[in-house]
Amino acid sequence: MSEPRLVTDAPLAHLEWRPAGAGRARAPVAVLLHGVGGGREGFPATGPALAAQGFRVLAADQPGYGLSGPIEPHDMAGMAEAVRRLIAWATGDPQHGAFVVGHSMGGMVAQELAASAPHAVRALVLAATSPAFGSPDGAWQAGFLRSRFAPLDAGLGMPGLAAQLVPAMAGRDAQPQRLAVAQALMAGVPEGTYRRALAALVRFDRREALARIAVPTLVVTGEDDRTAAPEVARRMAARIPGAEVAIVPGTGHLLMLEQPERFDHVLLDFVARRVGTAA
């Protein structure tokens, strides 16, 4: 497995994997976007797997995470704009696009990017995500925020929150050592960033934009995912022209960490069939 390079002099800090023998200007770009409890280290197997297929891979710290600076306001539009600037920086062309893989909140950012700057997206993988968050009346969202913020309000901090949430999100085949990695990632998220990102997430609704996605798209989720359940993935894929859907067996919400081999098998099959000429 190739070692990534940490890049901080970019619109978003990121880990970068480059394909063997390919220069920056020639390799197609793939951007990996983590979820609300993640960071740039959330795709440890997917980064090198895509680099082995010829991509220059950037696993980004989204705004306010890791080594990326905050944005104001912290909303989906701002997060998507930061990714657009990263893609323009990486490709050297503001009109050139990338292959975008988004997990959970990262999948929402990817949808926002596809809607606001479609030229920036050449192909999509929307992993364990949805096109909207909860009931549109607002009561469900408010209850969700109260439940997620309760451990923080009780003074447990992000480590205490992660200790509660990560095991609850896992699928039946998750291995303890892999859940420990996911838990450490969530524990390291700044509490202020987590609160702001969740507040942005619950306002997200891009259902009406799904029909306008015009690039090769894979919607994938875990068989045991209770946050972005298989039926949600199937309904979402049905609204995107030509989209494919895949359900990863024995896997929960953190599929690329719980079962990276299974996730990457599905991802690389999609790349081989649909993305090679589109990236």
Q: 95: pLDDT confidence band, cut at 50, 70 and 90?
A: confident
- The whole-number pLDDT of residue 141 equals 81
Please state the pTM of the whole predicted model. 0.95
Fold entry, domain 5-275: Rossmann fold (3.40.50)
Q: Are 126 and 219 in contact (CB under 8 A)?
A: yes
In whole angstroms, what is the distance from residue 33 CA to residue 114 CA?
A: 14
CA distances 55 to 49, 61, 86, 195, 215, Å, are: 9, 19, 15, 33, 18
pLDDT of 242 strictly over 90: yes
In this prediction, residue 143 carries a pLDDT of 85
Query: Average pLDDT of 8-13?
Result: 98
DSSP letter for 172, please.
T
Q: What is the pLDDT of residue 277?
A: 47
**What letter does residue 205 receive in the DSSP assignment?**
B
HSE toward the beta carbon, residue 85, CA cutoff 13 A? 14
Asked if residue 5 has pLDDT above 50, the reply is yes
Dihedral sign computed on CA atoms, order 165, 166, 167, 170? positive
User: Where residue 162 falls among pLDDT bands split at 50, 70, 90?
Assistant: very high
For the stretch 141-159, pLDDT in tens is 888 888 889 999 999 999 9
- Mean pLDDT over the full length of the chain: 94
pLDDT on residue 256: 96
Mean pLDDT value across residues 114-140? 89
Cβ contacts of 203 within 8 Å, gap of 6 or more: 75, 76, 133, 141
pLDDT at 142: 84
- Structure token digits, residue 3: 């070692």
Q: In the structure encoding, which two tokens stand for residue 27, read together? A: 């390799």
Burial class (CB in 10 A: 0-12, 13-18, 19+), 15: buried
Of 58, 50, 51, 34, which is closest to residue 182 (Cα–Cα)? 34
Assess whether pLDDT exceeds 90 at residue 46.
yes
How many whole angstroms separate alpha carbon 33 and alpha carbon 84? 12
The confidence score (pLDDT) of residue 136 equals 58
Q: What is the pLDDT of residue 240?
A: 98
**Are the C-beta atoms of 111 and 126 separated by less than 8 Å?**
yes
Write down the pLDDT at residue 181. Answer: 96
Cβ 181 vs Cβ 256: under 8 Å: no
Average pLDDT over residues 159-178: 96
The confidence score (pLDDT) of residue 216 equals: 97
pLDDT at 139: 81
Of 221, 224, 248, nearest to 235 by C-alpha is: 221
d(CA 185, CA 189): 7
Percent of the chain past pLDDT 90, that is, above it, reads 86
Q: Cβ distance 157 to 191 under 8 Å?
A: yes
Q: Please write the tens of the pLDDT for every residue from 192-229.
A: 999 999 999 999 999 999 999 999 999 999 999 999 99
> HSE on the CB side for 55, CA within 13 Å?
31
- Mean predicted confidence (pLDDT) in 35-45: 96
Who contacts 64 (Cβ-Cβ below 8 Å, separation ≥6)?
A: 70, 71, 74, 190, 192, 193, 196, 197
